[in-house]
């Protein structure tokens, strides 16, 4: 059972391995939502995520014999690093099974802690099945990433820290993948204040907990499809499910495009890199139907490889109209390019790329295609530039841009 005594024990234990992640008050999100928004930056942990809490506490409760057998787990990345790091502190051998789609930074950092990494399957559930097989074959001690009361108790220490800093918190937003973090945080939060509201947040393409709560029992999704790889789980935990049923007040789902915009918001307003799963609670802020409440968003992790970051930034700028590409057909004669560039310059558009296609038509004097990628202040500014080009006789069309980094 997850009891107050166990949470207090876990809080003392994890102090040995965690960094202090004080709440960050967000002027930007507070103003945009009408609530007092605080961020719990677990992305700043040494391993880049909150998972080290549950992993370390679980391993600390094992017997020496259990640790000597070797440890094994399955993880999309953050729990992997938590187990690998904690195992290293206890001089225990660790094997980590990760999906083949796991970002490279998570794989390399897990290896850097001395763990043996096995890549298997496309999603967590496939990696988990393989890890169970390896545990049985080799007699390893399995450390479940979420469906374990002890692990969940370790994760719940986040709530203890939130209450110590902000005793009058009204709402806690917590990401949900398999449910361990949500179970731990919500259970302790309700023990400390039964009136508090704890809201779980899932990606729409992997809403296994939401569907399970609707059904009244654990269900398995046929597939998952989300950029939030850390929460791409088809089946939530059955052991911790009753805690979720009792203590989570509701589940909000967010779409991938909302995570992309939230990434830009965090970079521009808080100078923090937060991975897509950690951004779930940020995207959920706009879905809250309340005002003047003290809201804490748990940022669960920040492990993103540079390629993913560049892709997210590019898509975010496109979504906000900050970068766009317009296709213009014009006669292939001297001066036309200068004329088009002058129209854009007078409206403060900043050209960052030109693609000139002379073979759009067999009659080059009739038309060649000019694709112009430029920076703008937003959608209104973008529309103004496109209209100006059309007013000057150009058939301007907004098109899908090429990769900006090619």
Active site residues per annotation: 51, 300
Do the Cβ atoms of 207 and 253 come closer than 8 Å? Answer: yes
Residue 24's nearest CA partner among 42, 12, 11, 45 is: 42
Q: Phi and psi dihedrals of 248, rounded to 5? A: -85, 125
Element (H, E) at 397: strand 397-399
Residue 298's nearest CA partner among 23, 29, 14 is: 23
Q: Is the dihedral of CA 56, 149, 100, 266 positive or negative?
A: negative
Do the Cβ atoms of 63 and 71 come closer than 8 Å? Answer: no
Do the Cβ atoms of 56 and 83 come closer than 8 Å? Answer: no
Distance CA 298, CA 314 (A): 25
CB neighbour burial string for 23-59, b if at least 16 within 10 angstroms, e if fewer: beebeebbeebebbbbbbbbbbbebbbbbbbbbbbbb
Measure Cα distances from 32 to 27, 143, 365 in Å. Answer: 9, 40, 51
Q: Phi and psi dihedrals of 275, rounded to 5? A: -70, 165
Distance CA 289, CA 5 (A): 34
Q: How many CB atoms lie within 10 A of CB 304?
A: 24
Distance CA 280, CA 381 (A): 29
* Residue 156: half-sphere exposure toward Cβ, Cα within 13 Å: 34
Judged by DSSP in three states, 367 sits in coil
Do the Cβ atoms of 92 and 67 come closer than 8 Å? Answer: yes
Residues in the chain: 406
């Amino acid at each position: 059972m997850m009891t107050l005594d166990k949470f207090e024990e876990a809080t003392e234990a994890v102090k040995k391995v965690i960094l202090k992640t004080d709440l960050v008050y967000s002027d930007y999100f507070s103003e945009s939502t009408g609530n007092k928004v605080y961020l719990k930056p677990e992305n700043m942990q040494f391993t880049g995520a909150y998972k080290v809490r549950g992993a370390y506490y679980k391993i600390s409760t094992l017997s020496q014999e259990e640790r000597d057998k070797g440890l094994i787990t399955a993880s999309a990345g953050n729990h992997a690093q938590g187990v690998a790091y904690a195992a290293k502190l206890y001089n225990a051998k660790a094997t980590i099974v990760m999906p083949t789609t796991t970002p490279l930074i998570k794989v390399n950092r897990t290896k850097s802690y001395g763990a043996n990494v096995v890549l298997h399957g496309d999603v967590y559930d496939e990696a988990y099945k393989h890890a169970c097989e390896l545990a049985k074959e080799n007699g390893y001690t399995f450390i479940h990433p979420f469906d374990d009361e002890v692990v969940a108790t370790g994760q719940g220490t986040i709530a203890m820290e939130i209450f110590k800093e902000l005793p009058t918190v009204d709402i806690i937003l917590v990401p949900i993948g398999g449910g361990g973090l949500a179970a731990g945080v919500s259970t302790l939060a309700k023990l400390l204040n039964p009136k508090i509201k704890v809201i779980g947040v899932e990606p729409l393409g992997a809403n296994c907990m939401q569907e399970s709560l609707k059904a009244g029992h654990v269900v398995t999704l046929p597939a998952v499809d989300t950029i939030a790889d850390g929460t791409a789980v088809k089946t939530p935990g059955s052991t911790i499910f009753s805690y979720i049923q009792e203590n989570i007040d509701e589940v909000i789902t967010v779409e991938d495009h909302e995570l992309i915009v939230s990434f830009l918001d965090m970079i521009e307003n808080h100078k923090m890199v937060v991975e897509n799963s950690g951004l779930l609670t940020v995207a959920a802020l706009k879905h809250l139907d309340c005002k003047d409440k003290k809201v804490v968003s748990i940022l669960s992790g920040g492990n993103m490889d540079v390629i993913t970051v560049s892709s997210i930034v590019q898509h975010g700028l496109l979504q906000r109209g900050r970068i766009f590409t317009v296709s213009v057909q014009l006669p292939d004669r001297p001066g036309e390019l200068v004329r088009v560039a002058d129209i854009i310059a007078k409206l403060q558009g900043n050209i960052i790329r030109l693609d000139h296609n002379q073979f759009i038509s067999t009659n080059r004097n009739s038309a060649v295609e000019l694709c112009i990628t430029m920076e703008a202040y937003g959608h209104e500014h973008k529309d103004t530039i496109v209209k100006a080009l059309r007013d000057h006789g150009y058939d301007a069309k907004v098109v899908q841009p090429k990769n900006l980094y090619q």
